[in-house]
Amino acid sequence: MSTLEDRYRRLLAWYPAAHRAVHEREMLDVLLSAARPGQTRPSPADTADLLTGAIRIRLRNAASGDGPSAWPAGLAVAGFLAMLQLLADGVRFAADIPAMASLAAHAPRAWSTPHVLAAHFGSGPYWLAWAAIAVLAWRGRRRAAARAACAVTGAQIVLAGYGEVFDDRVFGSLAASTAGTALPLALLATASLVASPGPRHGARVLGRAPVACAAATAAVLAAISCRQAFTLLFRYPLTSTDVPADRFLHDVAGWGRLQLAGVLVAAVLAVAVLARTRETRRACALLAIAAVPAIGLLAVQAAGSPGETLPMELNGLVNDDGGVVPSYSITYGLVGFALAMLCVRLVEMPSRSRTHSEQTLS
């Protein structure tokens, strides 16, 4: 084997195994016949062309769901559940509009009308955009939904970065609030539209009963996190200024504990439902990217006094305004994903060993 052929084979190894089994010999013959006399390394153009082709084929296979990999279907399921939670959060925002309108009516007089509207209702277009994306995806227009999701999530990333770097400037806190727990969900939903058969396929993979359970769970999580839930629980609105500070902080911490309990129960249900197949186990691991920052934020709210009782592991996740720091949110989510995938590998290890033994005997 020549040095050039060996190096071309290393580049071709980036292609899916099924593609190599059919086309590798032909591709090698074409590449070697086009090589210059004495050439020992692939040209930069050939290298870029081969790697681009490998990425394109892998993305095409992922988007169509073809091939033996469990990741496309897993990403489709995770994207469906993430989009479902984004829709539920949008409904929660709509339910909070009366309370936010009351809060806006008592805004400082120095604030201009655009400032008041942006501070209290600035995330409204974001939730409307995700509602439109969900409609497009459910009607089968995945490409249009993917383009819209990329645009919305790209703008969200820019705003989140601005809010993290310039949190003390005008609209800095609003920009940071667009990250929160919504950013990991948006990233999962967008990735599902771009690099998998899409959330609609994910719903089919789950089946009717799990989809109904997921919708009910998302609705409950949205209900207990809206401002009306606080009013029903504690008999006064969250915007009230007539309640002693100690009682208010105690009640907010209790509300945080209720939300934390809801998210933990939802996580247990998700693991129980998604642990059955290779595809759904990977969906469960991907959902940890969004679940871990959400649990961390609610743990801070449940603590009541973040600066004193917050565990060391959560330091830096929440800023002074009570919002999630975007960079920490993604970092914590990726750590959660890595740990979840470690658990998945441990669960699947016996079946892998059994399959390998059967192939060896045959």
More confidently predicted of 170 and 308: 170
Domain locations in the chain? Answer: 3-60, 70-355
Mean pLDDT across 192-215? 92
Q: With a cut of 80, say whether residue 337 has pLDDT above it.
A: yes
How far apart (Å, rounded) are the C-alpha atoms in residues 295 and 288?
10
Select the highest-mean-pLDDT range: 119-123, 156-160, 331-335: 331-335
Question: In which band, very low, low, confident or very high, does the pLDDT at 322 lie, cut at 50, 70 and 90?
Answer: low
How far apart (Å, rounded) are the C-alpha atoms in residues 265 and 157?
29
How far apart (Å, rounded) are the C-alpha atoms in residues 307 and 316?
11
How far apart (Å, rounded) are the C-alpha atoms in residues 137 and 182?
19
Other beta carbons less than 10 A from residue 203's beta carbon: 22
Q: What is the pTM of this model?
A: 0.78
198: left (phi over 0), alpha (psi -120 to 50) or beta: left
Q: Phi and psi dihedrals of 324, rounded to 5?
A: -85, 135
End-to-end CA distance of the chain, in Å? 31
Closest CA to 300 of 290, 283, 315, 286: 315
How far apart (Å, rounded) are the C-alpha atoms in residues 75 and 286?
7
Position 175 scores a pLDDT of 66
How far apart (Å, rounded) are the C-alpha atoms in residues 236 and 248?
10
Q: How far is CA 56 from the centre of its chain?
A: 23
**How many C-alpha atoms does 85 have within 13 Å on its Cβ side?**
26
The β-bridge partners of 318 are: 324
Residue 150 in tokens: 């990329």
Mean pLDDT across 64-70? 61
Q: With a cut of 70, say whether residue 180 has pLDDT above it.
A: yes
Q: With a cut of 80, say whether residue 112 has pLDDT above it.
A: no
More confidently predicted of 25 and 224: 224
Position 153 scores a pLDDT of 94
